[in-house]
Amino acid sequence: MVSAADLSAAVGAVRLANPVMPASGTFGFGAEAARLYDITKLGGVVMKGVTTLPRLGNPLPRVTDCPAGMLNAVGLENPGIDNALKNELPALASMYNGPIIANVCGFTVDEYAALAARFDESDAVAALEINISCPNVSHGGMAFGTDCRAAADVTRAVRRSSRKPVWIKLSPNVTDIAQIARACEAEGADALCLINTLLGMRIDLRTRRPILGNTFGGLSGPCALPVAIRMVWQVYEAVTIPIVGMGGIASARDVMEMALAGASAVEIGTAGLVDPTALIDIIDELPGVISSMGYNSYAALVGAAH
Ligand SMILES: Cc1cc2nc3c(=O)[nH]c(=O)nc-3n(C[C@H](O)[C@H](O)[C@H](O)COP(=O)(O)O)c2cc1C
């Protein structure tokens, strides 16, 4: 009998039973997903982005669709760091004992550093995913991820304020992703996560007005996959730290493509919104797809296309 392919994955010091994690903002803090499927099968989980104060998010409508994708302008609706640490994180940790990644979003460098230090209080957090790429807030967010100096400043400040592994989540809305990646690596990032959503918009023909309440939104889903693969490829060539790849993954074969481009692990967002059990189906299909490609482990595929 041929043994099943080894799915274990590692993002630096963070070990995952398999490479698949829900992408931040598409899994909340896990309670809704846990009612729909066995979340303990996930390789890791990434929490909704947390800010210092609670946020109600942007005006409605916040989502709309497009061929092979969607636009969202949720605007970081979240309960704030106090509530996240006191209620959401313990509740998630009681349901899930794999690696929990905290997604952190600030509006100033100092705020990022302070939030990172607060998450140090929790043993339940395995790593920080620093979101310098949110396109849906009027200041902060993406502004840090589209400028090399600002990306470096946030990385340095967070690195100093936290003992946790620091993963920096990059924006695709840049001309040269490799340059930003190198700036984050130079300041001590332990890993890079990419891509966040692509800035987009749609207009309602009937009202002749933008559809989203925020005018602009972030494009995600299968239409983003080729952009994400290209950027993961470029970043893999530019740095030596691990990469968490995401953007448009909707099948086990898409996971393979990300791995070949250089992703040590992956996150899946939109596919899980379309079909809540998509991530579990993909995890179940991975061993067969890896074997059919002639490999016996996920790890052996990482970067193999280079
Ligand atoms: C509704 C929604 C909310 C999101 N919220 C966050 C967030 O809070 N923090 C973050 O870093 N990314 C957030 N993202 C971006 C995703 O984590 C991911 O980077 C992006 O959607 C690309 O992956 P996908 O094509 O598999 O969805 C959000 C995406 C969606 C669709």
Which is the CATH superfamily of the domain at 9-59+74-201+219-301?
Aldolase class I (3.20.20.70)
Is the CB–ligand 1 distance for residue 249 below 6 Å? yes
With a cut of 60, say whether residue 1 has pLDDT above it: no
Residue 61 pLDDT class (50, 70, 90 cuts): very high
Beta strands 243-246 and 265-268: pairing type?
parallel
- Tell me, in angstroms, the distance from the centre of ligand 1 to residue 268's CA: 9
Mean pLDDT of all residues belonging to the chain: 96
Q: How far apart are CA 212 and CA 266, in angstroms?
A: 28
Please check whether residue 111 is in contact with residue 105, taking contact to mean a CB–CB distance below 8 angstroms: no
With a cut of 80, say whether residue 94 has pLDDT above it: yes
With a cut of 80, say whether residue 135 has pLDDT above it: no
With a cut of 80, say whether residue 116 has pLDDT above it: yes
Is the CB–ligand 1 distance for residue 171 below 6 Å? no
- Tell me, in angstroms, the distance from the centre of ligand 1 to residue 298's CA: 24
- Tell me, in angstroms, the distance from the centre of ligand 1 to residue 168's CA: 14
Is the CB–ligand 1 distance for residue 136 below 6 Å? no
φ/ψ region of 275 (left if φ > 0, alpha if ψ in -120 to 50, else beta) reads: beta
DSSP letters for 106-158: -SSHHHHHHHHHHHTT-TTEEEEEEE---TTSSSSTHHHHTSHHHHHHHHHHH
Is the CB–ligand 1 distance for residue 170 below 6 Å? no
Average pLDDT of span 111-120: 97
Helix (H) or strand (E) holding 287: helix 278-292
Nearest residue by C-alpha to atom 8 in ligand 1: 49
Is the CB–ligand 1 distance for residue 247 below 6 Å? yes
> 123: how many CB neighbours lie within 10 A of its CB?
8
- Ligand 1 atom with least separation from CA of 273: 31
Q: How far apart are CA 272 and CA 288, in angstroms?
A: 21
Beta strands 69-72 and 243-246: pairing type?
unpaired
With a cut of 90, say whether residue 60 has pLDDT above it: yes
Nearest residue by C-alpha to atom 11 in ligand 1: 131
Contact residues for 267 (Cβ-Cβ < 8 A; gap 6+): 21, 22, 23, 24, 46, 193, 244, 245, 246, 249
Which pLDDT value is given to residue 2? 60
Which pLDDT value is given to residue 133? 87
Nearest residue by C-alpha to atom 10 in ligand 1: 24
Which pLDDT value is given to residue 202? 98
Which pLDDT value is given to residue 15? 98
CA 240, 241, 244 angle in degrees (round to 5)? 125
With a cut of 90, say whether residue 158 has pLDDT above it: yes
Residue 199 pLDDT class (50, 70, 90 cuts): very high
- Ligand 1 atom with least separation from CA of 69: 25
Which pLDDT value is given to residue 223? 98
Residue 23 pLDDT class (50, 70, 90 cuts): very high
With a cut of 90, say whether residue 272 has pLDDT above it: yes
- Tell me, in angstroms, the distance from the centre of ligand 1 to residue 24's CA: 5
What is the domain partition of the chain in residue ranges?
9-59+74-201+219-301
Name the residues annotated as catalytic: 134
Mutation probe of ligand 1 site: the residue of 20, 21, 26, 65 with most atoms within 8 A of C-beta: 26
Residue 288 pLDDT class (50, 70, 90 cuts): very high
- Ligand 1 atom with least separation from CA of 195: 19
- Ligand 1 atom with least separation from CA of 193: 19
Which pLDDT value is given to residue 242? 98
Is the CB–ligand 1 distance for residue 145 below 6 Å? no
What single letter denotes the amino acid at residue 33? Answer: A
Beta strands 209-210 and 203-204: pairing type?
antiparallel
Average pLDDT of span 270-297: 97
Average pLDDT of span 170-184: 97
Average pLDDT of span 66-82: 96
Tokens of 241: 């730290």
